[in-house]
Chain A
Amino acid sequence: MRRNLPRSKYQKGIIHPIKYLRDYLERDIRPDGRQFLRVRPMSVNVRSITQADSSSIFKIGNTTVVCGIKAELAEPKVETPDCGYIIPNVELPPLCSPKFRPGPPSDQAQISSKIVETVFLNSGVLDPRNLCISKNKLVWVLYCDLICIDYDGSVMDACVGALMAALKTLTLPEVEHNPDTGAIIVHPSKRLSVPLKGAPVCTTFALFEDQLLIPDPTEEEESLALARLSLVIDGEELCGVYKAGGIPISQEVLMKSLSQSKKRAELVRKLIDTAISST
């Protein structure tokens, strides 16, 4: 497949990154051997981390994101006395790519955290009222930590996927709360799952010259792309479009990406469901 290209010169990617990619794209193929519209194979694994209340590992090609949810108890906010908390944080540690340095989260990690949070809120997957134990007194706090282990492009897709898979397998112990005495008793043997509605799926695209649109870019493609676009779809609903800067996108291409991500959303949903039912 790659025969016509000088692969022995892997250096080309480093010395001549733009020409390197252009050479591939002109031959209607991507550097990893994929067709333009093909997405990488995905895999999901749930309940493998024993210390977390629920966990999932979501892989797209090389990209790997681990999600672990730890539930804790807290008082609700005064303005929302019957709402629990969901605290999603995306971590892009230096472990996952040489691009990141040790220390506080990079801008990108902060942006990713924010996007995951808004996607989560806008899609209405989990009604925070379902996390209420005792109004005004006690609610659940779900710390959802998303850690990227391997940063090879389309990390948002993996983050949203991992969070959904983890939420779907989340169970919380039954809690008895006496509002008068404030006494709390937790029954660890009785665990109940949290009701969810729908499942948003994120699909990232990279945009190149002449409005060439490719889904599920690798890190290499992402770094050379002229624009990036992430669409979040939940069934028939669109719950977020993120396009930060870059070249303008034509309406036609945007529509194309919409239908693409709708197809992929269905695929991811099925994948998560099979992963959960098979464990």
Chain B
Amino acid sequence: MPVDQRRINGPEVTIPYNIYFDSNAKQTETRKTLPKKRTDGRDSTELRKIFVKTGIVSQAKGSAYIEMGKTKVVCSVFDPREIPNKTGYSLQGELFCEFKFSPFSCLKRKIHQQDSEEKEYSIILQRALESAVCRHEFPNFQVDVYALVLDNGGSSLAAAIMASSLALSDASVPMFGLVTAVTAGIYQDRFYLDLTEEEEVICSKAPDESTSSRNYGIVIQANLPQHGQISEFFHVGSMDLANMKPTVEAITTACKELCPVMQQCLVKSVLKALKRKENMEKEDQ
């Protein structure tokens, strides 16, 4: 690999220490299959507690922070800018999305540059948001959306989609509706919503040949719950066609559940802004 001259580099070969874990120690045992009961005691369709807040980056036009279990994502949005290196005229504005894991956010250290997974996630993020934004209002311009995962506890992309949608709204970018997203995992005959990182690892690997059901995979679905529309559906793995319907239905219900949380967060920020405005006017008088 070429040396990155713009950063301070470590030795060429470094090894994460967790591969040398004492094999006798009990806690290092990694699970191969999804347990019947989830490790955090949730029901299969139960979502983790979610915390959202807008306006956390003072320099950005709009920003949001989301916490889902251990997952923590920051997102910020900036004013429309000219699309670089563009010659033609486009009637629809563009969304530029960048999704990044911070180097310390995952079990394995991430490099500073975007890797292929992050690039793929950036595109999913863009597609999930695009249909919710009134892009005809800023023709020939692009709105930048940056999502940074500080801590990956699973379902980071879904968290990033929701945070970005809040940040866009916080930036007063005109939108047709809010976007919510949920990750679902399928493994054999089991089906879980809002995966933790451990569950994500299990669901993304095919089960052994010997097992009866060979279903596995991860589904990320983004909805516009206020309009009952799906803006993005992304699936990796392999599952029976019959599984599709219940999966989509379960995710759609979960996406609807999330909507009030986001609405409340926005209402709160509007109220706060109103109060601030009032105080300023009082001070001026």
| Chain A contact residues, CB within 8 Å of chain B | 2-3, 7-8, 48-53, 55, 62, 64, 66, 68-75, 77, 85, 87-89, 91, 93-98, 102, 104-105, 109-110, 113-114, 117, 141, 143, 145, 147, 149-152, 173, 175, 184-189, 219
Contact = CB atoms under 8 A, between A and B. Distances in A.
Contact of A85 (B11, B21, B146): B11
B89 interface: no
Given A2-B283, A95-B74, A186-B17, A152 B22 contact: no
Nearest to B113: A104
Contacts of A66: 102, 150
Given A51-B151, A74-B11, A95-B74, A143 B103 contact: yes
Top 10 closest A-B pairs, CB basis? Answer: A68-B104, A62-B58, A95-B146, A52-B104, A72-B14, A74-B14, A186-B20, A97-B59, A184-B20, A74-B11
5 contacts: A51-B105, A68-B104, A89-B103, A95-B76, A150-B57
Nearest to A71: B17
B27 A189 contact: yes
B32 interface: no
Interface string B139-153: 000001011101111
Contact of A87 (B10, B58, B60): B10
Contacts of B14: 72-74, 141
Given A8-B284, A49-B151, A186-B21, A150 B107 contact: no
A74 B20 CA distance: 13
B15 interface: yes
A42 B78 CA distance: 26
Nearest to B106: A51
B27 A113 contact: no
A124 to B, nearest CB: 18
B104 A150 contact: no
Interface string B154-169: 0000000000000000
B273 interface: no
Nearest to A150: B57
A73 B72 CA distance: 27
Contacts of B1: none
Contacts of B76: 95-96
A186 B18 contact: yes
Nearest to A49: B151
A70 B27 contact: no
A160 to B, nearest CB: 15
A96 B59 contact: yes
Given A49-B150, A75-B13, A143-B104, A185 B6 contact: no
B57 A88 contact: no
Interface residues of B, number: 52
B17 A73 contact: yes
B15 A73 contact: yes
Nearest to A176: B22
Contacts of B112: 89, 91, 105
A188 B22 contact: yes
Contacts of A69: 104
A50 B284 contact: no
Given A49-B151, A70-B104, A147-B148, 7 more contacts: A52-B105, A52-B151, A72-B15, A94-B144, A110-B7, A175-B20, A188-B27
Contacts of B6: 104-105, 109-110
Contacts of B72: 48-49
Contacts of A104: 4, 6
B8 A117 contact: yes
Contact of B17 (A7, A72, A143, A219): A72
Given A113-B8, A117-B8, A145 B103 contact: yes
B103 A70 contact: yes
Interface string B176-218: 0000000000000000000000000000000000000000000
Interface-central residue, B18, B20, B98, B106, by most chain A CB under 10 Å: B20
Contacts of B60: 95-98
A152 B58 CA distance: 7
B8 A72 contact: no
